[in-house]
Structure 1
Amino acid sequence: MENFLFDAFLKNKIKEIISRKNSCIASAFLGFGSEKNIPDSSRVICDIGMGGTNANSLIEIRKKLGNDLRWMSAFHPKVYLSDVGCIICSANLSNNGVGFLGQNGLIEVGVFHEYGSSVYT
């Protein structure tokens, strides 16, 4: 089943997905607060060349994940995957995108696919 999500619905579902063991995160930017919300068992890829990733958050995530944190230039997708499901959306893993520090600053939209849907096959 697929659901179109926006604003707080999207933010809450992203937080649920990334909180799970073995979550996979592809986000152009990792903002302040993301390091506290990514479990040790996650795999993460982000961009570090465009200036949107918080350097302190990146350092803390690297300490936690080691080689399970990867980066590449011009990387811009936002995909969050776990045993809950998958979200493909516009929201970076940042305060403006997800709102780790309170109200997110931007209106974001995305599509949630339940685990086991055709997206996984």
Structure 2
Amino acid sequence: HIGNEARKRSAALILKKIAEKNPDGEPAVLMGDLNAEPEEAPIAVLKEKMKDAREISKEPPFGPVGTFNGFKFHEPVTRRIDYIFATGMSVRQYAVLSDARDCHYPSDHLPVLARVELSGK
């Protein structure tokens, strides 16, 4: 989406759809390439209702902060646009994997992993 306002509205729509599909407030996960960095408005909207797995991981996050490498193997990965958001669960571990083969990444995005723990009701 072009424009900050449209991206904020998209984030709000995602939260609305989660609430519609999950009226009982069961644990939920939202993950993917959100094309927004942590300080941008769409991420702030999502954080109103969900928790950023990186921020709530019980163990220190593993790997680079960034997730978008642009296939630039010899440059630092600093741009974070891929996320795992969670609600109703704890995050035991969070990691961004930067494995490569022959100085080539398999994708322009690094894999983001979280190990979560659901508490019984």
Of structures 1 and 2, the one with the larger relative CO (CA 8 A, separation 6+) is 1
**Alignment TM-score > 0.5, same fold:** no
* TM bracket (short chain): under 0.3
Computing the radius of gyration from Cα coordinates, the structure with the larger value is 2
Q: TM-score, normalising length from structure 1?
A: 0.28
Q: TM-score, normalising length from structure 2?
A: 0.28
